[in-house]
Structure 1
Amino acid sequence: MIELSRRALVAGAAGATVTGLLATTMTSPAAAQDAATPAGPAASPIPGAYRYKVGEARVTAISDGVRTFPMPQGFVRNASGEAVNDALAAAFLPPDQISIPFTVLLIETGRRRLLVDTGNGPGQGPVGLLAPTLAAIGVAPESIDQVVISHFHGDHINGLLTAEGTPAFPNARVFVPEAEWSFWMDDGEASRAPDRLKGNFQNVRRVFKPLDGKVERYAWNKEIAPGLVSVGTPGHTPGHTSFELGSGADALFIQSDITNIPALFVANPSWQVMLDMDGVKAAEVRRRTYDRLVADRMNVAGYHFPFPGAAHLAREGEGYRYVPVMWNPVP
């Protein structure tokens, strides 16, 4: 279980520095984006960073922002627009509109700093806020020892590079799933890919070219950092990977993109989002994984869950109920 010792992190107005963890104050990522400008009204309701413990490991959830857009036709492949709007209404969300948050995890064990995924990258409008938020909480890019990637969609890998196209974390080794690398770096797969995937093949090559010599591939069911074990959860992409972080008696399941919006896909685990490359497999993996998390009462962190992205899951009807952890900043 995650210990109830979570703390909010704050960046002050112009020239302020973060010298410690404050119990009751937060900053928006947008306000953190320009530390030279006095903070005005928050441009985003999403807090920038939220710290909690998993045993002796310290986890900081960092918001990379949130995208809101009209719901595309067929966003859920196997459900009607009316059914999707009913699910949104049940969660007190507006109809015909989708809001997707992005939450990167910073894990600190001893003196080691590790990022799980890297967000959308700089200059991406309402998202791409990882770098300024890291700066706001006093974490230098050079201090990151390891970056672990779950899969190769742009909202997870684009933050590996700066706006200039150089490595964003110059001292970090970048760990990627073997199965994911094998698929997206295969010229044959690229040549056979439907048009909707060709851009992603190109983006993968763009992102990893400047990282030549820094990338290590990992297999599933392996400890790839102290206490962090890779878990194969394919379907969303061929090499999509989740992680289990264990420390002492505590554990956190980092589900990556097993589920997109909880109001839709936790409550209706058989629904297939248009972003899943193999929707049937993704739904099977989702249900199998969630059955285990429910049985073990394990906490779960979701990349697209509402910030700070940590929750419990419980059975409800034919699906599951999403139960956010208690927000509990402490001195």
Structure 2
Amino acid sequence: MLELSRRNLMTGGAAAAAAVTTAPLILAAANAQAAGGAVSPLTGVYAYKMGDAEIIQVFDGARTFPIPDNFIVNLSKEETAKAYAAQYMPAGQLTITFSPLIVKVGGKTIAIDTGNGLGANAATKGAVGNARHSMAAAGIDPKSVDIVLISHFHSDHINGLKNADGSPAYPNAQIMVPSVEQAFWTDESNASKANGPNKGNFAGVKKTMDGLKTTPFDAGKEVAPGITAVATPGHTPGHTSFVIASGNKSVMVQGDVTNHPGVFMPNPGWHLMFDNDAQTAEATRRKVYDMASADKMPIIGYHFPFPSAGFVEKSGTGYRLVQVHALS
């Protein structure tokens, strides 16, 4: 049974360091940002302080493509197209953005997910795979990263672990992965338990993870200074979110609890084709957003429009995202 609440989110080492608060985040422009704005389209960097932690969102890019059949599996393709058109996307198409995270806290530099990777950057002519370029703009050398936390094993989250030539992208980092996630995707016999879009993920996981030393972790534990892992399954069996806590402030890094917030947050019962267990993913979504809205806890979404942080409010039978704005 999924148990998600303010209390058990903060179990483990992070509880001693901080408690959830309703105080808003105070945002400040990063050095790499353009004067007069919080986001520079040239650097893809958005940074702010939260207590003693510095959070740096690095834009990996965006893909626009024709809406696949069954993209929302319990909605017709026509209704799906209307939902994305309502977000002012080109007719019959959708856009997905990708935003990994860098956290500097407790003397450590921590990456949360890695983007599509430099190989994808070349293959897509710069549409995605820009996280490393954004890190460079923020003055972050991948060799300086101490820990990489992986939320789940989909390619847009793990492919950045390697350079285009297959060498480790973070050569000095401890690569930490959810134990449930690792056990599922590294056992090819589990392909029978994966839905259609996920069956092909096993080969990609093998290619990316081969040769990398990983450290598995369990949910409910502090996995880095002030960062607690939270089980949020459904999108994948071991999908994990993270709560970053510093001082009396906290934020949840929700990974892929939902995809585009303008489409799925008002309609939490809509099921994305990439959610391996749609019913569990929906239950997770509702529990996470009920908690976030009740506690006024800000969240960061990997596929939220950049910059990818905001607050959740209940709206009708679903939710809406109120994205944050820079405060100088």
User: Under TM normalisation by the shorter chain, which class is it?
Assistant: 0.7 to 0.9
In the other structure, the counterpart of 2:68 is 72
Aligned residue for 1:272, secondary structure, equals coil
> Secondary structure, in 3 states, of the residue corresponding to 2:254?
strand
The alignment status of 1:184 with 2:185, answered yes or no, reads yes
Query: Partner letter of residue 172 of structure 2?
Result: N
Offset of residue 26 of structure 1: 5.0
**What is the identity, as a one-letter code, of the residue corresponding to 2:200?**
G
Quick one: distance in 2 between partners of 1:320 and 1:175?
31
1:95 pairs with 2:94: no
Residue 151 of structure 1: aligned partner: 152
Contact in 2 for aligned 1:176/1:218 (Cα 8 Å) = yes
Instruction: Please show how residues 62-141 of structure 1 align to structure 2 within 5 Å.
Output: 62-124=58-120, 125=124, 126-141=127-142
Residue of structure 2 equivalent to 1:306: 305
Q: How does 1:138-287 map to 2 (within 5 A)?
A: 138-190=139-191, 196-211=197-212, 214-287=213-286
**Match for residue 51 of structure 2?**
55
Cα distance in 2 for partners of 1:228, 1:58 equals: 13
In structure 1, how many angstroms separate the alpha carbons of the residues matched to 2:192 and 2:39? 47
Ranked by relative contact order (alpha carbons within 8 Å, sequence separation 6 or more), the top structure is 2
Cα distance, 1:273–1:255 mapped onto 2, change above 3 Å? same
SS in 2 for 1:78: coil
- Partner of 1:79, secondary structure, is coil
One-letter identity of the residue aligned with 1:276 = D
For the 8 Å contact 1:148–1:174, the answer to whether it is kept is yes
Residue 324 (structure 2) pairs with residue 325 (structure 1): yes
Could you say what secondary structure the match of 1:69 adopts? strand
Deviation at 1:2, TM superposition (A): 4.6
TM-score with structure 1 length normalisation? 0.86
User: Gaps spanning 5+ residues in structure 1: where?
Assistant: 12-20, 32-46
Aligned length, in residue pairs = 301
Q: Does 1:6 align with 2:28?
A: yes
Preserved contact between residue 38 and residue 46 of structure 2 (Cα < 8 Å): no
CA contact (8 A) 2:219 2:231 kept: yes
Aligned-partner residue type, residue 49 of structure 2: K
- Match of 2:46, as an amino acid? Y
The DSSP-based 3-state class of the residue aligned with 1:293 is helix
DSSP 3-state at the match of 2:234: coil
Distance 2:192 2:315 in 1: 43
Distance in 1 between residues matched to 2:198 and 2:296, nearest whole Å: 37
Q: How has the CA–CA distance of structure 1 residues 322 and 95 changed in structure 2, closer, same or farther, with 3 Å as cutoff?
A: farther
Q: Deviations over 1:16-69 (max 9, x none)?
A: xxxxx95647543xx5xxxxxxxxxxxxxxx51000122211000000000011
Sort the Cα spacing of 1:76 and 1:193 in 2 relative to 1 into closer, same or farther, 3 A: closer
**1:209-263 CA deviation, whole Å, 9 max, x = no partner?**
121xx31000011100111111101100000001111111111011000000111
- The change in CA–CA distance for 1:307 and 1:194 in structure 2 (over 3 A counts) is closer
Q: Which amino acid aligns with 1:87?
A: A
Q: Whole-Å Cα distance in 2 between the matches of residues 226 and 247 of structure 1?
A: 9
Distance 1:9-1:71 versus aligned 2 partners, 3 A rule: farther
CA positional deviation for 1:85? 3.3
Amino acid at match of 1:162: N
> Contact 2:30–2:138 (CA<8 Å) still a contact in 1?
no
State how far apart, in whole Å, the 2-side matches of 1:244 and 1:156 are.
18
Contact preservation (8 Å) 1:251, 1:299: yes
* TM-aligned CA deviation for residue 193 of structure 1: 5.5
Any gaps of 5 or more consecutive residues in structure 2? Answer: 1-22
Offset, 1:4: 1.9
